Amino acid sequence: MIPVVPAASTGAVETEYLLAALLFVSFLVLGLVYGLILYFGWRYREANPVHRGKIKEKTWRIETGWTVATLIAFLALDVWGADLYMRENRVQPDALKIYIIGKQWMWKAAYPGGQKEINALHVPVDRDVQVLLTSEDVIHDFSVPAFRIKRDVLPGRYQTIWFRPTQTGTYRLFCNQFCGVDHSAMVGTVTVMSGPDFQDWLGRNGQPAAWRSRGMSFSSATAAPAATCPPKAAALVRCARRRLSASMAHRSRCPTAARSQPTTNISATQS
Query: Which DSSP symbol is given to 165?
Result: B
Q: In the predicted model, what is the mean pLDDT of residues 133-149?
A: 90
Give me the half-sphere count of Cα atoms (radius 13 Å) on the Cβ side of residue 209: 0
Pick 96-249's CATH classification: 2.60.40.420, 3.40.50.300, 1.10.1040.10, 1.10.3210.10.
2.60.40.420
Q: Which pLDDT does position 101 carry in this prediction?
A: 92
Q: What is the pLDDT of residues 182-199, one digit of tens each?
A: 898 899 999 999 988 998
What's the pTM?
0.61
Q: Is 214's pLDDT higher than 80?
A: no
Q: Which pLDDT does position 115 carry in this prediction?
A: 86
Mean pLDDT score across all residues of the chain: 76
Pairing status of strand 129-135 against strand 96-103: parallel
57 phi, psi to nearest 5 deg: -75, 160
Distance CA 61, CA 120 (A): 59
Which residues of the chain form CATH 2.60.40.420? 96-249
Do residues 222 and 112 make contact, with C-beta atoms less than 8 angstroms apart?
yes
Do residues 107 and 173 make contact, with C-beta atoms less than 8 angstroms apart?
yes
Query: Residue 120: helix, strand or coil by DSSP?
Result: strand
Distance CA 198, CA 262 (A): 40
Query: Residue 155: helix, strand or coil by DSSP?
Result: strand
Q: In the predicted model, what is the mean pLDDT of residues 113-140?
A: 90
Q: In the predicted model, what is the mean pLDDT of residues 201-219?
A: 58
Distance CA 1, CA 53 (A): 45
Q: Which pLDDT does position 148 carry in this prediction?
A: 87
Q: What is the pLDDT of residues 83-99, one digit of tens each?
A: 888 887 787 788 888 99
